Amino acid sequence: MRGADYVIKRAGFAVLTIFVAITINFFLFRVLPGNAVADLSRVPRATPQLRHALEVEFGLDKPKWEQYLIYLKQLAHGNMGVSYATQQPVSTLLANDLKNTIPMVAVGTIAAILIGVLTGILSAWRRGSALDHLSTNLAIAFYAFPTQFLGLMLLILFASVLPTSGMMNPFVLGPESLWARLKDIGAHMILPALTVCLTLYGEFTLIMRSSMLETLGEDYVLTARAKGLPDRKIVSRHALRNALLPIATVVAISLGWIVGGAILVEFIFTWPGIGWAMWQAIYQRDYPMLQGGFLVLAVSVIVLNFIADLAYFRLDPRIKE
Amino acid sequence: MSAVQEPGLTEGLSVQSHAGFLRSVLRERKAAVVGLGIIAFFVVLSVVAPLVVPYSPNAQTCAVFAPPSARHWFGCDDGGIDLLSEIMQGGRISLLIGFTATVVSMILGGGIGIVSGYFGGWVDVTFMRIVDYLLVIPDLAFAMVISEVWGPSVFHVIVVIGILEWSGTARVIRAQVMSVKERVYVKRARAVGAGNGRVIFRHILPQVGPLLIANTVLTIAVAIYLETALAFLGLEDPSTTTWGTILEHAFARAAVSAGAWWAIVPDGIAITLLIMGCFLFGQAIEDALNPRLKVAHLSIRRWTLRTLVGGAAGMGVRPLVGRGPDAI
């Protein structure tokens, strides 16, 4: 019963936050004064038909509050307007970009979690040793590294061995086997994913270390020790599961940062994802695309946060309190 | 998340003056000394930069992408400008943006945190909903949109970072105020007729002070990070030189393919060092205030770190269970 309450509360919060994000998005682009002449129908080189269709769709001749309602309605139908640059629907373009972003960021983030958890455990286990000092200081250094600096360093170091731009080799002609294609994409993914991984892992190491240290101080660990269990077993069977909890929270909370880092990474490595699309939208003054991109990023973070809340709920029954 | 524990901070701190507290932190924690030293180094360097720059940070004084030499320690950039001078000059603006934005977010975050925690009720609920929203919104994407809509300028960057970064501070300060206002001495002050203003400024603010300092230092790191990221994406006023724009120029003008690592590395190291200094110093203060309040800027939930009071080693238990103040 309590559990259902919790889920409903979190879901309600997620929906409310998405609504706030949509509203702020509308006001940013249509109401606030600024350099943006963000009239959705001002698509350069557009045919009069397209312009007229957009004006009708988004009610651009109506007062602002009515435009807001229409905007909500169009969003509900997945209509985010037409890109100024390519004159294609923003939603189609963004869906394609999101498809490219997700694997790269996911690979980097999961690798960061694995490395962070592992080094964090080792650090806590061998606390005070040379290994611990090395690992902790490295983690602080990588935590402090600006994403763009790290990306540029990797670019300099590996420019001659690995592909540094785009998602696949543009010079391949003719049909290509699926395997060769995947290998090509994989090779292009190494540097961007590695940048994401390295900028994140430091934080995870520090959190995992302190969480593990705390868990190792619990009475049940002392009991396990008194029973004569070997260290390895105490760590893996008794302490690890509880110590992992904070990592779930930290991943959820860092999602906004992960997305921000992804924008920088995609910009450096010309990865054709949503961050690159947003940067291009700024460069080309493509406001519908920028507005849509921001909304998609915000909504994905909110949704992922909600999923993390649910995961946390499963991981830690105490939350039902 | 409703599971935020109220940290019972600064217990026993009231007997010490703030200066005394900072001194004891510096005495006991090497990380704090290192962090403060790094911050002080960059602040001093920024102040004296116009007097000590070896060359003009705006004029061509050497060949395009000239490598580091005895005359130009850090080499030259794509316009033949001495990079050492440029980095010193850029540090002035980056630090200015970082510090000013932090002040803005401290006033907002500290103020809202105190008001929210002290008065509670619907004020608290409203502010905390805004905080929840700001915590899930992707910072950099939001900052990109705003600086694009408003147009690129140093002032806009400061405002954007200021309004983005106050939420974490507000949350921490609110929790602290909520616990302080229930203390006996505050209740006593109210009982003898002290008004809200007097209670807040005379009795609560001094208690929250050290925590606010820790948060300020940690926020400076985030502000500098955001500034360099925005500048790197070309959303900074193109006529200014900051640490971010130096990296952006190097990247845009193909320093990588020219093999001119010196246009990137010293500048990047400067940013990294400053962020690291802020992290070390801010974290050390936080740890000293309360070992339970760790990495607060990273997390909503807090987890406790219990310090075993003596004995652990004597019981023949290896470091597995004992730990001291150096635990991060």
List, in sequence order, the alpha helices (H) in B2-120.
Answer: 18-28, 30-52, 83-119
Contact B226, B139 (CB under 8 A): yes
Q: What pLDDT, in 10s, does the model give residues B185-219?
A: 888 888 888 888 888 888 888 888 888 888 888 88
Q: Give Cα B112 to chain centroid, integer Å.
A: 18
Residue keyed to tokens 């040793």: A129
Q: Inter-chain contact B300–A253, Cβ cutoff 8 Å? A: yes
**Cα within 13 Å of Cα(B18), Cβ side:** 10
Average pLDDT, chain A: 81
- In three state form, how does the secondary structure of A140-151 look? HHHHHCCHHHHH
Q: Which residues of B touch A128 (CB under 8 A)?
A: 319
Q: How far apart (Å, rounded) are the C-alpha atoms in residues A233 and A225? A: 10
Higher-confidence residue of A181 and A106: namely: A106
A222 Cβ contact partners less than 8 Å away, ≥ 6 residues apart: B317, B321
Q: What pLDDT, in 10s, does the model give residues B299-311?
A: 223 333 333 333 3
A 171-210: CB under 8 A from B: 203, 206-207, 209-210
Average pLDDT value for residue range B172-179: 86
Q: Inter-chain contact B295–A152, Cβ cutoff 8 Å? A: no
CB atoms within 10 A of CB B235: 26
Specify the DSSP class assigned to residue A84.
T
User: pLDDT confidence of B235, banded at 50, 70, 90?
Assistant: confident
Q: What pLDDT, in 10s, does the model give residues A146-164?
A: 999 999 999 888 887 777 7
- Domain residue ranges of chain B, discontinuous segments joined by +: 18-296
**What is the chain B residue with the closest CA to A219?**
B321
Q: Inter-chain contact B151–A35, Cβ cutoff 8 Å? A: yes
pLDDT at A45: 63
CB–CB contacts below 8 A, A to B: 193
Q: Tell me how far apart the terminal alpha carbons of chain B are, to the nearest angstrom.
A: 23
Average pLDDT value for residue range A170-186: 75
By three-state DSSP, how is residue A75 classified? Answer: helix
**What is the chain A residue with the closest CA to B156?**
A34
Q: How far is CA B75 from CA B55, B242, B256, B263, in A?
A: 12, 17, 14, 7
Distance from CA of A295 to the nearest CA of B (A): 10
Kindly report the pTM of this predicted structure. Answer: 0.81
Q: Inter-chain contact A21–B133, Cβ cutoff 8 Å? A: yes
Tell me which residue of A156, A123, A112 sits closest to A257, measured CA to CA: A112
B 215-234: CB under 8 A from A: 221, 225, 228-229, 232-234
**How many domains would you assign to chain A?**
1
CATH number at residue A293: 1.10.3720.10
Q: Which residues of A touch B301 (CB under 8 A)?
A: 246, 249
> Residues A236-267, buried b or exposed e (16+ Cβ, 10 A)?
eebbeebbbbbbbbbbbbbbbbbbbbbbbbbb
Q: How far is CA B24 from CA A52, A251, A305, in A?
A: 70, 34, 40
> Which of the four CATH numbers 1.10.10.60, 3.30.420.40, 1.10.3720.10, 3.30.200.20 does domain B18-296 have?
1.10.3720.10
Contact B138, A301 (CB under 8 A): yes
pLDDT at B292: 45
Domain containing A144: what range? Answer: 2-320
Q: Which residues of A touch B140 (CB under 8 A)?
A: 259-261, 263-264
Q: Inter-chain contact B247–A148, Cβ cutoff 8 Å? A: yes
With residues binned 3-state (H G I as helix, E B as strand, rest as coil), the percentages for chain A, rounded to 5, are: 75, 0, 25
Average pLDDT value for residue range A90-107: 89
Chain A interface includes B262 (CB < 8 A): no
Please give the full DSSP string across B119-146, using - where no structure is assigned. H-HHHHHHHHHHHHHHHHS-HHHHHHHH
The full length of chain A comes to 321
Residue keyed to tokens 């007729």: B193
Structure ipTM: 0.82
Average pLDDT value for residue range B123-128: 88
Q: Which residues of A touch B254 (CB under 8 A)?
A: none
pLDDT at B320: 33
Q: Tell me how far apart the terminal alpha carbons of chain A are, to the nearest angstrom.
A: 11
Residue keyed to tokens 């020790």: A225
A 262-281: CB under 8 A from B: 263-264, 267-268, 278-279
B 280-309: CB under 8 A from A: 280, 294-295, 298-301, 303-306, 308
Q: What pLDDT, in 10s, does the model give residues B20-57?
A: 777 888 887 888 899 999 999 999 998 888 887 777 77
Contact B74, B54 (CB under 8 A): no
